[in-house]
Amino acid sequence: MKKKKYRFKLMKWAQDLFPYYRSLTGEGNRKTLKYIKNLNKSFKLKSVESGEKFFDWTIPQEWQIKQSYILSQEGKKIANFKENNLHVVNYSRPINKKINYNLLKKKIFTLKKSPNSLPYVTSYYDKNWGFCLKFKDFKKLNKKEKYLAYIQSKHFNGKMDYAELTIKGKSKKTILICSYICHPSLANNELSGPLIIAALSKILRPSKYTVKLILIPETIGAITYISKNLNFLKKNLVAGFNLSCVGDDGPYSLISSINENTYADKVAKRVLGKKNNFKKYSFMDRGSNERQFGCQNLNLPFVTICRSKFGTYKEYHTSDDNLSFISEKNLQDSLKCILELVEEVQKNKIFTKNTICEPFLTKYNLVSNIGTGKSLKFHDLHNVIAYVGTNYDLKELSKKLKIPVKKIIKIINIIQKKKIIREYL
C-alpha cells in the first residue's frame, strides 16, 4: 500500500479528547462521542438505559463526578481531581468526612515501584470510594493528622452511550472494527483505538464487504452490542478487529481467538507477520473486547490488534500513559496497518459449499478430469472442496493445501461453474 498523507492530524484530536473524563457511563463519554461524530456525521449515537439486561450483565447506574480531593488541616488539597482526573477511583460514591490517617490510607492507591506515577483504579460494580496518589506524595502525609475525604459524585438511573458507523458494501457480510471509550486520560490504552477508528471513518469507502466501526465501553459495551446484534454477527461477520494500545512504537501484536484458527486470526497473522518483531499472543493473554466477541460459546472470527500489548509496558494504567507516550508517526503507522488489514479482507475471495457432506463428483463429470483437457490430481480437487469455508480465502487455501494460487483459482472457477461452491457474499 502506498504511503498516503492525510489532511487531519490525529494528535490534534488526541489533545482535544484527552481531558474528557470517561468511564463506563457519563458526560465524558458523550463528549467524546459527540466530538468524533463532528469528525464524521455518519456515526450514529446510541444508548441503553440503566437496569437493562444483556445476557448475564445489567447496565449500571450512570456516574457523575464534579470534584474530589483530600483536604489537610492546613487547607491543602491533595489528590485533586481537577489537577488530574486519575486522582479519584473511577465510579467512587460520594464522601464528605474527616478521618484519621490509618483509615484514609486504606482508601489510597499508589505505585510503590513507580513513585512518580498515579495508578488508574476503578470500582465499577461495587459502590466504594478511594483516591490515587503518587507514592512519593503518599509518603509525605502526616500520620498524626486528620484529613477531609471529599468526593462530590452521584449515581443515578441514566444511560450507557456508544456509537456505530456503517459503510455499506455490495454484501451484507461485514468487517467489524471496534475500540473502547471508558478510560479517562490514558493516551495509548484508551485514545489510540478511537483515534484510528475516527480516521478510518474518514478514509474508508464502500467496497465488497460492509464495514462497521463501533466505539463502546469495554466489556459491558461489547456484551451489549453482541446481545443486540447476535444473529447478524453469527450470520455475517467475516472478520472482527478490536484496537487497543496502537499509539506507541512497540511491535505489532495479535491476541488470538480462543482456537486461533478463525479467518480473523489468519488474515491478521498474514498482514502483521510482515512487520518487524511481530508478537502473537494466545487467548490465554486476553484482556479486552476479544474476551466477549471471541468467547468459547461464540467463537466469532475476532481478534485484538495492539502495538505494545496492554499490561506489557510500564506506563500501562498509570498517569505516564499520557500524550507524550504516543505520537503522530506511530498513530499514522498503525492507521496504515489497519487499512492494510481491511484491504486484505476486501480484495480476497472466500467460498463456501452448496452441499452438505462432500458432493457426488461423478454427477458433475469431475472424477477423471475437470473439462480443461488436462488431468487433475484427484486429491487436489477433493481438498479444495473439503477446505473451502469461512476460515479460508484463496491465499489461505493455497498455504494450507500447498497448491499454487493460480491452480487453486482454476479449480475454484470450475467447481463454482458446477455450482458446487459459491462466493461468500
384: closest CA among 409, 365, 367? 409
What is the value of pTM for the model shown? 0.93
User: Which carries the bigger pLDDT value, residue 365 or residue 268?
Assistant: 268
In angstroms, rounded to a whole number, what is the distance separating the alpha carbons of residues 361 and 351?
18
pLDDT for position 1: 46
Cell 484529613, located at residue = 147
pLDDT over 80 at 371, yes or no: no
pLDDT for position 193: 98
Q: For 175-213, what is each residue's pLDDT tens digit?
A: 999 999 999 999 999 999 999 999 999 999 999 999 999
Q: 134-151 b/e with 16+ CB inside 10 Å = b?
A: bbeebeebeeeeebbbbb
Q: For 216-265, what is each residue's pLDDT tens digit?
A: 999 999 999 999 999 999 999 999 999 999 999 999 999 999 989 999 99
Angle at Cα 257 formed by Cα 403 and Cα 174, nearest 5°?
Answer: 75
Tell whether the torsion through CA atoms of 138, 141, 146 and 151 is positive or negative.
negative
pLDDT over 70 at 372, yes or no: no
In angstroms, rounded to a whole number, what is the distance separating the alpha carbons of residues 271 and 252?
10
pLDDT for position 3: 54
Strands 279-281, 253-255: pairing is: parallel
Average pLDDT, integer, range 332-359: 95
Q: For 163-174, what is each residue's pLDDT tens digit?
A: 999 999 999 999
In angstroms, rounded to a whole number, what is the distance separating the alpha carbons of residues 303 and 299?
10
Please provide residue 387's backbone torsions phi and psi, each rounded to the nearest 5 degrees: -95, -15
pLDDT for position 367: 72
User: Which carries the bigger pLDDT value, residue 367 or residue 45?
Assistant: 45
